[in-house]
Amino acid sequence: MMNDCGDAELIAAVRAIDATPYLNDDCVAPGRIQLGDAALAIDPISSSGVQKAIQTALSGAVVANTLLRRPGSTDAALNFYRAQLGECSERHRRWAAEHYRDVAERCAHPFWQQRAGQKAAPDPAPLRAIDARGFATTPMELSSELEFASTPCLQGDFVSLASALHHPRLASPIAFLGRRELAPLLRMLQPGRTPLQIAQSWSNHMSLESGLAIAGWLVNHGILVEQRGRSGMPS
């Protein structure tokens, strides 16, 4: 590609600016908050630093609102922001390392080798899909790996604590889906019901269509699993 550039000449000194990813562990306190690159910088190859800066500005506004107007939720707001940035930084570190590793496998240059890092643990085995018939006939139960934990979440204009789902198949804890709080819906479930029956059991809270969408999401993410002793489906 550079064969035709033999007579190219340098017209100005080469300048370099450090673009190393970092996470500011001290990005928020009761009286201040840092947003965008001031809080965290992700690897430039992600090409999503601007999107991340906007996301931290949006969630940072809710955190600041909570710190100013709900002093009783100060710890929840601080922990929410730190956890959000920490998870983001770690997720991008893994993704970037995968991209560097792709090149490092073909190119021995230290630039790629040093950034490739160790191969991450393999993803959990894919789940067996349930078709429409299975929705009406497969008895389900909650995964034995599911845990509920009080976790700071965005709720409207404030950060507050909600019971969130923690599970190895979830990239981060989740408390709401389609604006529905999941923990109360799951706590009322009786094992052995089909996804269709589960959606019907939520009819006091939402339409059947919404219930089926939530039940399908829970099945696809391994939160609802086939009842043990029926097919050996992984939980």
Ligand X SMILES: Cc1cc2nc3c(=O)[nH]c(=O)nc-3n(C[C@H](O)[C@H](O)[C@H](O)COP(=O)(O)OP(=O)(O)OC[C@H]3O[C@@H](n4cnc5c(N)ncnc54)[C@H](O)[C@@H]3O)c2cc1C
Chain contacts with ligand X (rule: CB under 6 A):
19, 36-37, 44, 47-51, 53
Amino acid (1-letter code) at residue 129: A
**Residue with the closest Cβ to ligand X?**
36
Q: How far is the CB of 46 from ligand X (least distance, A)?
A: 8
Q: How far is the CB of 219 from ligand X (least distance, A)?
A: 35
* Cβ nearer to ligand X, comparing 54 with 136: 54
- CA 30 to each of CA 72, 177, 213: distance values in angstroms, whole numbers, following the listed order: 11, 29, 39
* Cβ nearer to ligand X, comparing 20 with 144: 20
Q: How far is the CB of 20 from ligand X (least distance, A)?
A: 9
| Token couple for 208 | 């059947």
* Cβ nearer to ligand X, comparing 42 with 198: 42
Q: How far is the CB of 13 from ligand X (least distance, A)?
A: 18
Alpha-carbon span 88 to 81, nearest angstrom? 11
* Cβ nearer to ligand X, comparing 45 with 208: 45
* Cβ nearer to ligand X, comparing 17 with 129: 17
Q: How far is the CB of 60 from ligand X (least distance, A)?
A: 11
